[in-house]
Amino acid sequence: MKQEFYPELSDSGLRIDKYLAQVCEGLSRSYLQKLLRSGQVLVNGSPVKASYAVEEEDLICLEVPEAVEPEIEPEEMALDILYEDQDVLLVNKPKGMVVHPAAGHTSHTLVNGLMYHCRGQLSGINGVMRPGIVHRIDMDTTGVLIVCKNDMAHSSIAAQLKEHSVTRRYQAIVHGVLKEDSSTIEGPIGRHPVDRKKMSINYNNGKPAVTHYRVLSRLKQFTHVECRLETGRTHQIRVHMASIQHPLLGDLVYGPAKCPVSGLQGQTLHAGVLGFIHPRTGEYMEFSAPLPDYFKHLLDTLA
> What residues are annotated to the active site?
138
With CA atoms as reference, report the closest residue to 114 among 143, 86, 82, 91.
91
**Cβ count within 10 A of residue 112:** 20
Alpha helices in 149-269 (DSSP H): 151-162, 236-243
Distance of CA 79 to the CA centre of its chain: 20
Please give the sequence-ordered ranges of beta strands (E in DSSP) within the chain, or none if there are none: 2-5, 41-43, 46-47, 60-63, 81-84, 88-93, 142-148, 167-175, 182-186, 189-191, 199-201, 210-218, 222-229, 269-277, 284-288
Residues 6+ apart with CB under 8 A from 89: 81, 83, 114, 118, 132, 146, 147, 149
CA atoms within 13 A on the CB side of 38: 11
Query: C-alpha distances in angstroms, 172 versus 206, 224, 228, 298?
Result: 24, 6, 11, 11
Query: C-alpha distances in angstroms, 301 versus 219, 248, 257?
Result: 9, 17, 22
